[in-house]
Amino acid sequence: MPDWGRLVAEQLAALNLPPADKADVIAELAAHFEDSGAPDDDASETDDRQLALVPWPKLMRAIERTKHEEVEMKRAINFFLLPSIAVLFAAGLILVFLDCAAVVQRLIWTACTAMLLWAAASEANHFSQHTKSLWLPALTSFFGASVSFMLSLFVGMKPQMVWVNHDAAGHGVWLYWPWLATLPIFGAAGAFLSRRAQGAVPTRLAAGLSPALIMLTVMALVLPYGIAIDGFHFFHLVSYGFGLINWVVLPATALLLGAIPFLRSGTRGAES
């Protein structure tokens, strides 16, 4: 068996890359040649032929250009995209605490998620198994649910109010039926993408339910703020409980319906 690592390293000696990147390129090409190698009895002649067929100068220029583009992309993400996401997220959280501009809030969450997905797609080859099996599928599910809600509002969706009592402090549940009907699609998408990345069953479940889990996190942040501002009142807790039903329990149920088919098979992966 030829030493493909050494042979490729000799051909790429002039490759202008950092040592770690250069080693990765050599290892990848060596693995490619090894997979397409010839039987041992005529290996030497075939190896020379394979190496001679490769336009090494052109290949090195292409590799260097690709790596340069990756570096520029990382710089753009680190210096522009991530700070923009942080600022938008902070603005959205402030609006949540102030309980105002609901449409702007959802636009902000949707924009943040879209930018995160774009950053994720550009860096997909460098992600850990945990990121591929959880965070990317979860962001995809959340982005889809957010866009669906915005489109539903845009076309004039009106929620159905189901009252629990009708006294002065009456409470009820808002049922956004058209939006809830779309959520199984995004629950299925998150769980499917997680399973394809060999995520374990709990990871798939978290990815599929991510829109509801994110809302639960936001509401958990809102509750202490509300108590600090308005004081502790039983009726405020009741209203908070109905908010949980509106934005966590019902969406989670719809998302789970879509995620269930992808929780029952393909369990070979595990989280890293």
Other CB atoms closer than 10 Å to residue 220's CB: what's the count? 11
User: According to the model, what pLDDT value does residue 205 have?
Assistant: 95
pLDDT exceeds cutoff 90 at 50: no
Q: What is the pLDDT confidence band of residue 47, given thresholds at 50, 70 and 90?
A: low
With beta carbons less than 8 A apart as the criterion, state whether 108 and 92 touch: yes
> Using one digit for the tens of pLDDT, what is the confidence trace for 153-192?
778 777 777 766 555 455 667 788 889 999 999 999 999 9
Q: pLDDT > 70: what percent of the chain?
A: 71
pLDDT exceeds cutoff 70 at 44: no
DSSP annotation of 271 = -
Mean pLDDT of 209-219: 88
CA proximity to 25, closest of 36, 40, 15: 15
Q: What is the pLDDT confidence band of residue 268, given thresholds at 50, 70 and 90?
A: very low
Q: What is the pLDDT confidence band of residue 271, given thresholds at 50, 70 and 90?
A: very low
CA proximity to 37, closest of 24, 51, 55, 26: 51
Mean pLDDT of 92-118: 72
With beta carbons less than 8 A apart as the criterion, state whether 187 and 252 touch: no
Other CB atoms closer than 10 Å to residue 195's CB: what's the count? 27
Q: Classify strands 172-175 and 160-163 as parallel, antiparallel or unpaired.
A: antiparallel
- For residues 247 and 173, give the distance between their C-alpha atoms in angstroms, rounded to a whole number: 10
Mean pLDDT of 201-217: 92
CA proximity to 81, closest of 119, 108, 113, 109: 119
> Using one digit for the tens of pLDDT, what is the confidence trace for 51-78?
677 788 888 888 888 877 777 766 666 6
User: According to the model, what pLDDT value does residue 200 have?
Assistant: 92
- For residues 262 and 199, give the distance between their C-alpha atoms in angstroms, rounded to a whole number: 11
More confident residue, 85 or 259: 259
